[in-house]
């Protein structure tokens, strides 16, 4: 069941989204060579505490058999796509492609967002990969309004990125968000005609989060039980926003971070 949110609930999510975006921007700026991921995580925990919110990823389990997630922020570097835990022994280096993914509970509502940070001297392909992934997400958002098709989101992303030689990850998807961290519907960032057609309705709150590689779309999980990496070890980018569907478009719940 896809839960629609009331105008009041969306206002709560927008207040949470402001805090989340501000926090993500702070972490992105602190993402410099020598920074360790535990210190980056602490920025989030401190900001959330000051604001009266709570990190939604900390101790989260996507499936009941998952170990509880160990940090507030997912920090995934280079060929890591998503869900890289923040730990003291991981240090950011010049040339790293860093994906920061962060989620917040605020006024009993969940919001979720992610960005890609290019640290110093990155390979040229990394810049293109991140820029085009963000652009594909922006293009997908333009398809959204009451009555539009959910699968036009993934179709737009895939049709824009695949001809450029990039891989659109299929094993992980976007999702509804608000009363929970992950709600229905699932939002693939690619298109498959066998998928059930879903029409968007005003009040749906969606986290759309293309994960894109500079190679093939296949991914695998590391032995830590969390980190998702590209199978061919190619670089990955990730951008995510939470939005609310409206009658004539969408409302951005998590403002774009300033990176």
CB of 226 to ligand MF3, least distance (A): 6
Site string for ligand MF3, 49-68 (x = CB under 6 A): --------x--x-x------
**Residues in region 193-212 near ligand MF3 by CB under 6 A:** 207
Strands (E), the chain: 54-55, 73-77, 80-82, 97-106, 109-118, 167-168, 174-176, 183-187, 205-208, 211-213, 219-221, 228-230, 236-238, 241-245, 250-252
CB of 175 to Co ion, least distance (A): 6
Question: DSSP characters for 29-83?
Answer: HH--TT-BHHHHHHHHHHHHHHHT-EESSTT--SSTTSPPP--SEEEEETTEEE-
- Whether the CB-CB separation of 165 and 232 falls below 8 Å is answered with no
Interface with ligand MF3, residue 27, by CB under 6 A: no
Name the minimum Å distance from CB 112 to Co ion.
4
Answer yes or no whether residue 48 interacts with ligand MF3 by CB under 6 A: no
For residues 186 and 246, which CB has a smaller minimum distance to ligand MF3 in the complex? 186
- Find the binder of ligand MF3 among 78, 112, 161, 190 (CB under 6 A): 112
DSSP state of 190: S
SS3 133: helix
**Cβ closer to ligand MF3: 121 or 221?**
221
CB closer to Co ion, 75 vs 122: 75
166 binds, among Co ion, ligand MF3, none (CB under 5 to 8 A by kind): none
Binding region for Co ion (CB under 5 A): 112, 207, 209
Q: Which of residues 66-95 bind ligand MF3 (CB under 6 A)?
A: 69, 74, 83
d(CA 229, CA 112): 21
Task: Give the distance from CA 184 to its chain's centroid.
Answer: 16
What is the DSSP pairing of strand 73-77 with strand 109-118? unpaired
Q: What is the binding site for ligand MF3 (CB under 6 A)?
A: 57, 60, 62, 69, 74, 83, 101, 103, 112, 175, 207
């Amino acid at each position: 069941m896809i839960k629609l949110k009331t105008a009041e609930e969306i206002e709560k999510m927008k207040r949470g989204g402001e805090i989340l975006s501000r926090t993500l921007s702070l972490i992105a700026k602190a993402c410099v060579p020598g920074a360790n991921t535990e210190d980056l995580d602490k920025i989030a925990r401190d900001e959330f505490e000051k604001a009266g919110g709570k990190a939604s990823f900390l101790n989260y389990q996507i499936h009941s058999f998952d170990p509880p997630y160990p940090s507030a922020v997912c920090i995934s570097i280079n060929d890591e796509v998503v869900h890289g835990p923040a730990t003291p022994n991981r240090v950011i280096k010049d040339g790293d492609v860093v994906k920061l993914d962060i989620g917040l509970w605020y006024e009993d509502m969940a919001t979720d967002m992610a960005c890609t940070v290019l640290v110093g001297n990155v390979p040229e392909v990394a810049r293109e990969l991140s820029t085009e992934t963000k652009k594909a997400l922006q293009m997908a958002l333009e398809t959204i309004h009451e009555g539009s098709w959910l699968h036009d989101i993934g179709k737009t992303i895939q049709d824009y990125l695949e001809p450029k030689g990039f891989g659109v990850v299929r094993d992980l998807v976007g999702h509804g968000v608000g009363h929970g961290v992950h709600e229905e519907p699932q939002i693939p960032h690619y298109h498959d005609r066998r998928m059930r057609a879903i029409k968007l309705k005003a009040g749906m709150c969606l986290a759309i989060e293309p994960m894109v590689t500079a190679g093939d779309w296949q991914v695998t999980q590391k032995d830590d039980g969390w980190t998702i990496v590209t199978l061919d070890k190619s670089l990955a980018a990730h951008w995510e926003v939470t939005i609310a569907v409206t009658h004539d478009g969408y409302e951005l719940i998590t403002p774009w971070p300033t990176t």
